[in-house]
Structure 1
Amino acid sequence: MAGKRAQRTTGTQGPEGAAKVTISEIAREAGVSVPTVSRVVNGRSDVSPGTRARVEDLLHRHGYRRRPGAPGARAALLDLVFNDLDSPWAVEIIRGVEEVAHEQGMGTVVSAIHDRAGAARQWMTNLRARASDGVILVTSMLEPGPGLHDELRRLGVPLVVIDPAGSPATEVFTVGATNWAGGMAATEHLLGLGHRRIGFIAGPPRLLCSRARLDGYRAALDVGGAPVDDELIVPGDFYHESGFTGTNRLLDLDEPPTAIFAASDQMALGAIEALRQRGLRVPEDMSIVGFDDLPEVRWSSPPLTTVRQPLSDMGKLAARAVLDLARSVEPASPRVELSTELVIRASTTNPRRV
């Protein structure tokens, strides 16, 4: 773990009885965040030389001396906030963030809001108490609007968002994947196999990534000269049950699809189970494509064709970005999208000829 952290709000009396100066005041004068000053005070190495020199000069001029370590002083922490944690998808994000935090000698606090009344307010109360060095929000209903962003800025805590649910404030750094391109690649793959009626099980419409995958699906059909049939597009929520339900809905159509593109791997696995219960085989009777490339889908029966998004890398990038912001290093761009990749396995083939 990292060394002890200086108190955020109090210093010691300066030379010749001068008034106390606080870390917050030093940070304001230096034009950096409170965590950055705290790192300098604690002798941490993760501060740029120029920033360190500026802060140390102010500390010296104001006669700041670190107060003796108080019992229970906290180690450096990153806050990682999800809406839900009941998905292997979340585990991959956590894996990436934790790797960077471990490299930096930091701890990671993982929270889930679960859309519960008062949960966001309680999380903010807890955040103030543990004096986090940075916050990463992941497709959370706790959206980085003016209220949240202003409060985090007041606390000197930088913010990064992975897969924003809506359009975040322009000053918020975001990390995502090329969801539109991934949706197009999955659909083009099925079209290339000869499928013309391709069902689509959508994700939650409130999420930008869901809408981008649907738009990619529609674009591929349009480019490929296949009709966009709205009855082939069914709602889902990224979880197994909605994939199961959506597949049954597609199979009950007068003219069912010959292939299904599910906007998440979990929904794709739900689709495979729905087909199994109806005595249909994958891919002989129905081709299936997912999205995410979770570790488990390599071992599904059959192994799943899917669009890989680099979830762990997204977590790493977000963690490094929030630490850079804490050191007053601004990102080159406020938006970063990592590339997706189509991974072809055994769940897709040419449509069966009747």
Structure 2
Amino acid sequence: MSFAGLTSRTERGRLIDKVVQIDGVFCLALILIAVAGALMMFSIAGSSWEPWAANHITRFGVAFVLMAVLAVIDLRVWAAIAYPLYAISLILLVAVELVGDVRLGAQRWLDLGPLGSFQPSEIMKLGLVLALGRFYHGLSAERARLSWWLLVPAAMIGVPTLLVAHQPDLGTAMLLALTGLTVVILAGLSWKVIFAGAGLALASLPPFILFVLHDYQRQRILTFMNPESDPSGTGYHILQSKIALGSGGLLGKGYGLGSQSQLNFLPEKQTDFIFATLAEEFGFLGCMAVLFLYAAVIFMALRTASLAHSHFGRLTAAGVTSTFALYVLINGAMVMGMAPVVGVPMPLLSYGGSVMLTVMIGFGLVQSVRVHRYTEVTASKSSLI
């Protein structure tokens, strides 16, 4: 046997070993959530695979394969592309400000001609986590706790958050800010700074609402506080969602029998409010089953983060997981009337390709951390130390 043939066989063996190390239970939980979403889309489309369910399953299948491919990529490669990906994402966000498409009063998309359009803010969700993980990987614990170096991650989080908020896209801006803050806290930020920052945020909330938010965003908050004040206008979404949630009871009305969704009373029933559709047809127990799957995904991803030997691996896996958890918490609170409607979908359950692709790429990174958990990522000479 030639040396080249032996090398090729050895490389294939290593690749198979990496694929085998991908968490099967984690993958099964993701599949079950996506299948639950497809079943709900099939139901609300009048027992039809079109226009949502078939596309949802196809997109998930492609994204799942992509996740598996990304899982075998060495963690050091992720570290190498961290800063370039963040820089490219930032440039694209600036491009949105200059030449972005305007749809429904929001300038969030870049037109790629025959390839369609996309939202650079989705790329930034991953780019921010990777860049912060890379930054703190090369920073001492003392400087991560409290020092002037904190201005660097503050700028890394603040600039894209402000750009996205200006589009305007308050939901994604919230996700970027909260995800970035989570990574900074997990990196070892001093509790004095955390409490001081929380106090400052609460104090600045009223002027932020009064003078920074757009009129329609301010109206969403007022509607959230009293949706009954305009039941057929701005309060319609929340009220219909509450009706769907409450009418499902313990066991639900039955598959395909939800009146609010089937009769089109519930708006955005396949995207932002699909959880309310689930509650109406499968009740409290159905919702708890899906939430259990979400909790299992979050727990397994955080456990993967804890097993990583490198600081970069721990922070990036935890950052991706926090983004996923925030999706679930914000959408759940929004559907139940506990938070304003900000257009954040329920990940993998809701219809939509951009968020699904972002989530699955992120989980590809999480599984890469698992597969390469013993890999040491060294700080380069140019790192901030």
TM, length-normalised to structure 2: 0.23
Higher Cα radius of gyration: 1
The structure that is strand-richer by fraction is 1
TM, length-normalised to structure 1: 0.25
